[in-house]
């Protein structure tokens, strides 16, 4: 079975490996630079000691005199003085050094012998009255390497502690960094097990990716909670709306079976049953349409629609319902307005708006339907002179099953939500304006080019 590391362990391992790699590269670079610098310092000192020796040499009273202040050993560098034939006159060389190397004026050389590797620098000069003099400086090349090697061994001893410190530090940092993730996971698990969508992660304020993720989770939970609450409310309201006509149908059927003794009595009961069945069928049809719109299964059948003729037809059709309440239907429709849309859906939108105005308008009052065109849109307005809508109820008119006056409303409260979906599906906007005692006006705007698909 393949074992997988946790993110915390992966971060720890990567951090440790990176720190070890950086430490190794840094040490290698430092050792290299240190070695080169040490060698350059040694060579520079060798040259400086040779140059400093000349002022200390002079010929007096027939012999060569060398000042006692002349140092023949300093910081690992040996100095020695020779005559023209190579005979030592002053100074010293390393005990292991083979001093048979040929003199070469002004050259810093590296010489290898059986005892090791050496740096040699020779300089030839002339002392007045005496003649040619050779001054030589010698240093063991290995002493620099020995120092670097000692530092390297020390680094190898310290490195394991550094690796351990890097691992512990990486683990602690990863644990602290992933602490919000563990909190999110635990909270999400508790929400899932407890089925409590009202709970939130509430990680707090922050600008990094984890806080952004937590906030997105909270927004998702809020949308899920709202969706579930809407679904529960929808189910409850639909059940309530369907229960009434079903109860009437059952009671009328029972009455007809028990009491109807003549055909007129049975016909009356059947007419009531038919009326309630038609109401229930209409409600089910609207519910089915809204359910399809929620799932994006409802597609528009786009064509070129003369919405002016459509509005005139709807106004004429609604006149009969308006006459029943002694209301007047007024129209102000700009002729010849055409747009890309679904004719059936647009007719349903206009009918729902007019039915709503007739139903809730003032008896004996009026209902107006206005239609006009702007540069790129068709604008419409359905207005009545009824009692109006309270300000706190305006946002609720688009809510399913909501009715401003349930006592006299014989609908299901699905007409205006259907209107809103139809207008938005066509790429338009719909709004309502009202005040108590001043009637209500529903306005809509539809683009002439139709919806974007």
Q: Which CATH architecture has domain 194-298?
A: Orthogonal Bundle (1.10)
Strand partners, 78: 73, 138
Q: Which CATH architecture has domain 7-167?
A: 2-Layer Sandwich (3.30)
Q: How far, in Å, CA of 348 to CA of 415, rounded?
A: 9
pLDDT at 1: 44
pLDDT at 147: 64
Residue carrying structure tokens 């290995």: 142
CA distances 192 to 184, 197, 199, 217, 357, Å, are: 12, 8, 10, 13, 46
Q: Are 295 and 282 in contact (CB under 8 A)?
A: no
- pLDDT less than 50: residues of the chain: 1, 297, 406-410
Residue carrying structure tokens 């319902």: 321
Measured distance between the N- and C-terminal CA atoms of the chain, rounded to whole angstroms? 50
The CATH class for the domain spanning 303-447 reads: alpha beta
Beta strands in 42-107 (DSSP E): 57-60, 63-66, 73-74, 77-83, 88-91
pLDDT at 241: 61
In this prediction the pTM is 0.44
Pairing state between β 328-333 and 366-373: parallel
Which sequence spans correspond to the domains of the chain?
Answer: 7-167, 194-298, 303-447
pLDDT at 311: 93
Q: How far, in Å, CA of 437 to CA of 385, rounded?
A: 8
Q: Give Dmax over CA atoms of the chain in angstroms.
A: 168
Structure tokens at 13: 């391992």
């Amino acid at each position: 079975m393949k074992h997988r590391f946790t993110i915390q362990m992966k971060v720890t391992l990567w951090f440790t490996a990176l720190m070890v790699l950086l430490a190794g590269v840094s040490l290698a670079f430092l050792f290299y630079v240190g070695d080169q610098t040490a060698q350059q310092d040694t060579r520079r000192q060798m040259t400086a000691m040779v140059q400093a020796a000349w002022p200390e040499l002079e010929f007096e009273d027939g012999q060569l005199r060398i000042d006692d202040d002349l140092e023949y050993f300093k910081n690992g560098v040996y100095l020695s003085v020779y005559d023209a034939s190579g005979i030592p006159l002053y100074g010293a060389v390393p005990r292991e050094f083979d001093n048979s190397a040929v003199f070469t004026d002004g050259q810093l050389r590296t010489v290898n012998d059986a005892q090791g590797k050496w740096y040699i620098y020779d300089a030839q000069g002339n002392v007045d009255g005496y003649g040619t003099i050779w001054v030589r400086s010698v240093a063991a090349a290995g002493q620099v390497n020995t120092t670097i090697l000692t530092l390297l061994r020390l680094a190898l001893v310290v490195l394991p502690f550094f690796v351990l410190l890097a691992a512990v530090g990486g683990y602690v940092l990863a644990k602290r960094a992933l602490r919000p993730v563990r909190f999110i996971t635990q909270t999400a698990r508790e929400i899932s097990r407890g089925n409590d969508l009202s709970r939130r992660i509430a990680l707090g304020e922050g600008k990094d990716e984890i806080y952004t993720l937590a906030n997105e989770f909270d927004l998702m939970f809020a949308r899920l909670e709202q969706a579930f609450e809407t679904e529960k409310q929808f189910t409850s309201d639909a059940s309530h709306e369907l229960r009434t006509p079903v109860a009437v149908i059952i009671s009328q059927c029972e009455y007809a079976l028990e009491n109807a003794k003549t055909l007129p009595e049975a016909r009356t009961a059947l007419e009531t049953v038919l009326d309630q069945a038609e109401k229930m069928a209409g409600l089910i049809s609207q519910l089915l349409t809204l359910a399809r719109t929620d799932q994006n299964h409802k597609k528009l059948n786009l064509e070129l629609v003369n919405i002016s003729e459509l509005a005139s037809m709807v106004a004429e059709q609604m006149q009969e319902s308006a006459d029943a309440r002694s209301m007047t239907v007024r129209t102000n429709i700009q002729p010849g307005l055409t747009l890309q849309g679904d004719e059936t859906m647009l007719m349903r939108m206009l009918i729902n708006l007019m039915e709503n105005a007739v139903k809730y308008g003032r008896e004996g009052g009026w209902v107006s339907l206005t239609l006009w065109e702007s540069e790129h849109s068709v604008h419409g307005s359905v207005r009545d002179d009824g009692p109006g809508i309270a300000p706190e109820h305006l946002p609720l008119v688009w809510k399913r099953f909501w009715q401003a006056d349930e006592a006299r409303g014989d609908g299901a409260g699905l007409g205006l939500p259907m209107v809103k979906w139809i207008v938005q599906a066509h790429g338009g906007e719909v709004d309502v304006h009202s005040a108590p005692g001043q009637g209500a006006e529903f306005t809509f705007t539809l683009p002439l080019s139709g919806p974007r698909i």
